[in-house]
């Protein structure tokens, strides 16, 4: 088998060594018996599928990063160990995709060089292991974190046009090794099968935008106003969550609403805390080790004021932004204590922002007394009641009667037989489609979606017309003056047509060029074979 022009023998030898895990010299006489068999082709196809599989998994990993802080909190609750699991997942995924990508590049280079594809058994075993690991990861995602499938569907509204261009480009480049293989193999059935599959895939890709929709495909003058920002527990990337420092940082980020969680102490003082236990966000294990596992509501206000609610933020670094904090911010973080609802209301009143909160735990036997204590603090604080957004469903009618000016926010969609119209809804961003958001906007219903941290997701919701978003990354979203991308439908149509035409011409050129190269090599190879046969006959005589 002759080396194609431009493929030197040392290079071919190195490629064979890496792919086959054995040193095979590039001399013809030592390679004469090596050919790419049907089994080798099957393993190459498996390698290609594993690469695509890991690539899809990488996409999912990037998408779920928006919600990964929730997973970290979940793991801490289960294991009592804080770790940024997103970093572990990214490293593992990068290793898997790098391995399969390197093998695929080696195989394509070998094919272009006209070398046999003899994949070593160790690579085969590792590829099978890679496929099993990724399959297990997808299965676990579907079982334990099923809402992320809806996140992936939403992400396609932001990445669809670019994924289309990237996939078309990748499949266009694949035309070169495919054409090389077709012109080298003598199996007519295999040629026809590969060509039919490739053509079917390319036609499907060319027509894929017909089924693609995105709210960001619109004219500039149709873009809705930028959604308001709701600080999720304040600004938790810049300060310890649910502290006064976090609240002040959120105000600096121009949030319009401070979203928090309220509990009531054993002596009836409402305070800010998300977790049912104090172990994650305080030093309760050091101050009250024998009571650390108790519910947060089991502590009185005097005990709660003894706890450090900020040092954990510097020690565990729940977000990468902690590393960039100034010396002054680090010092302030160590001085944070658990704030009371009264203190938070005073800051929000002075800052002229609203406050929205959940009252936890909902299943507590004294929940009605919690509602009464919370409502009493609100009424005595002097804050304008329209600045208070009430989320708890329990005893909501009682709250309406005692404080009718408090804005009621519902954690559900409206019903067909709604007795009174909803004015505010607060839902996970996965629970509402772009069409529903537009309809609610037309009906003057304020829609707040949580938790939105990534610019791509914020852009999609912005284009959809959402009223506000709850975010951990107020410092990032504050700086966004425009969605990441916004295309008029005519511009998108032009890009689609240009990409498809360019791809078709590149594929056509690849097949025609490699056909000419193959025809030029055939006479030379025939003459060489005749000459070698004559020399062999003379030597035998």
Instruction: Please give the Cα distance from 447 to 410 (Å, whole number).
Output: 10
DSSP state string for 389-400: EE---TTHHHHH
Domains of the chain, residue spans: 1-145, 150-214+487-518, 229-274+338-478
Structure tokens at 335: 């001085």
Whole-Å CA distances, 356 to 147, 227, 271, 378: 24, 16, 14, 12
Residue appearing with tokens 């809806």: 150
- β-bridge pairing 354-359 and 270-272: unpaired
Q: Is the peptide bond before 363 cis (omega within 30 degrees of 0)?
A: no
List phi, psi (to 5°) of 67. -110, 10
Instruction: Please give the Cα distance from 387 to 142 (Å, whole number).
Output: 39
Instruction: Please give the Cα distance from 430 to 153 (Å, whole number).
Output: 9
CB-based burial label for 192 (10 Å; 0-12, 13-18, 19+): exposed
Tens of each residue's pLDDT in the chain, 541 residues: 444 444 566 776 777 778 887 655 544 434 445 677 778 888 988 999 999 999 999 999 999 999 999 889 988 988 888 988 999 999 999 999 999 999 999 988 887 777 778 888 999 999 999 999 999 999 988 888 888 999 999 999 999 999 999 999 999 998 988 888 888 777 788 889 889 999 999 999 999 999 888 999 999 999 999 999 999 999 999 999 999 999 999 999 999 999 999 999 999 999 999 999 999 999 999 999 999 999 999 999 999 999 999 999 999 999 999 999 999 999 999 999 999 999 999 999 999 999 999 999 999 999 999 999 999 999 999 999 999 999 999 999 999 999 999 999 999 999 888 878 889 999 999 999 999 999 999 999 999 999 999 999 999 999 999 999 999 999 999 999 999 999 999 999 999 999 999 999 999 999 998 888 777 665 544 554 555 455 556 555 5
Q: Is the peptide bond before 361 cis (omega within 30 degrees of 0)?
A: yes
- For domain 229-274+338-478, give the fold: TIM Barrel (3.20.20)
- β-bridge pairing 270-272 and 257-264: antiparallel
Residue appearing with tokens 């990468």: 320
| DSSP state letter for 414 | P
Instruction: Please give the Cα distance from 321 to 513 (Å, whole number).
Output: 52
Sequence-separated (6 or more) residues with CB below 8 Å from residue 205: 164, 167, 168, 171
3-class state of residue 465 by DSSP:
coil
Q: Which of 139, 148, 141, 131 is nearest to 53 (CA)?
A: 131
Sequence-separated (6 or more) residues with CB below 8 Å from residue 495: 161, 165, 487
């Amino acid at each position: 088998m002759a080396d194609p022009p431009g493929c030197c023998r040392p290079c071919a030898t190195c490629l064979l060594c890496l792919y086959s895990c054995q040193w095979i010299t590039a001399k013809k006489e030592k390679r004469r018996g090596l050919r790419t068999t049907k089994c080798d082709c099957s393993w190459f196809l498996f390698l290609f599928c594993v690469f695509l599989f890991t690539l899809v998994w990488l996409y999912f990993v990037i998408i779920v990063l928006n919600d990964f802080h929730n997973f970290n909190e979940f793991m801490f609750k289960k294991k009592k160990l804080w770790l940024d699991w997103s970093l572990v997942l990214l490293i593992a995924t990068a290793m898997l995709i790098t391995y399969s990508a390197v093998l695929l590049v080696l195989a394509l280079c070998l094919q272009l060089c006209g070398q046999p594809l003899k994949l070593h058994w160790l690579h085969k075993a590792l590829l099978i292991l890679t496929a099993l690991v990724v399959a297990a990861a997808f299965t676990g995602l579907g079982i334990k974190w099923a809402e992320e499938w809806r996140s992936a569907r939403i992400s396609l509204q932001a990445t669809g046009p670019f994924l289309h261009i990237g996939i078309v480009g990748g499949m266009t480049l694949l035309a070169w090794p495919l054409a090389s293989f077709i012109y080298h193999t003598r199996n007519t059935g295999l040629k026809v099968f590969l060509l039919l599959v490739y053509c079917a895939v390319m036609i499907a890709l060319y027509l894929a935008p017909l089924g693609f929709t995105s709210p960001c495909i619109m004219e500039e003058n149709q873009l809705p106003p930028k959604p308001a920002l709701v600080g999720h527990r304040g600004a938790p990337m810049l300060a310890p969550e649910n502290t006064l420092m976090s609240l002040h940082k959120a105000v600096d980020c121009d949030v319009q609403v401070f979203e928090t969680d309220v509990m009531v102490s054993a002596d009836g003082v409402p305070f800010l805390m998300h977790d049912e236990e104090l172990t994650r966000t305080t030093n309760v294990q050091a101050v009250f080790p024998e009571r650390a596992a108790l519910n947060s509501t089991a502590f009185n206000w005097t005990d709660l004021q003894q706890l450090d609610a900020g040092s954990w933020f510097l020690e565990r670094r729940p977000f990468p932004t902690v590393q960039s904090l100034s010396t002054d911010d680090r010092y302030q973080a160590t001085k944070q204590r658990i704030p009371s609802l009264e203190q938070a209301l005073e800051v929000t009143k002075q800052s002229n922002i609203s406050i929205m909160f959940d009252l936890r735990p909902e299943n507590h036997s004294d929940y009605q007394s919690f509602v009464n204590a919370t409502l009493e603090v609100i009424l005595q604080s002097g804050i304008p009641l329209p600045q208070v957004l009430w989320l708890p469903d329990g005893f909501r009618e009682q709250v309406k009667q005692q404080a009718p000016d408090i804005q009621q926010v519902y954690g559900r969609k409206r019903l067909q037989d709604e007795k009174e119209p909803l004015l505010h809804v607060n839902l996970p961003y996965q629970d509402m489609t772009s069409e529903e958001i537009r309809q609610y906007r037309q009906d003057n219903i304020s829609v707040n979606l949580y938790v939105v941290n990534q610019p791509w997701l914020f852009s999609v919701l912005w284009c959809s017309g959402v009223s506000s978003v709850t975010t951990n990354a107020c410092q990032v979203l504050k700086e966004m003056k425009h969605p990441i991308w916004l295309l008029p439908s005519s511009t998108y149509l032009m890009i689609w047509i240009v990409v498809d035409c360019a791809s078709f011409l590149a594929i056509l050129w690849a097949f025609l060029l490699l056909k000419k190269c193959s025809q030029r090599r055939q006479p030379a190879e025939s003459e060489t074979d005749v000459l070698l046969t004559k020399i062999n006959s003379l030597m035998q005589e």
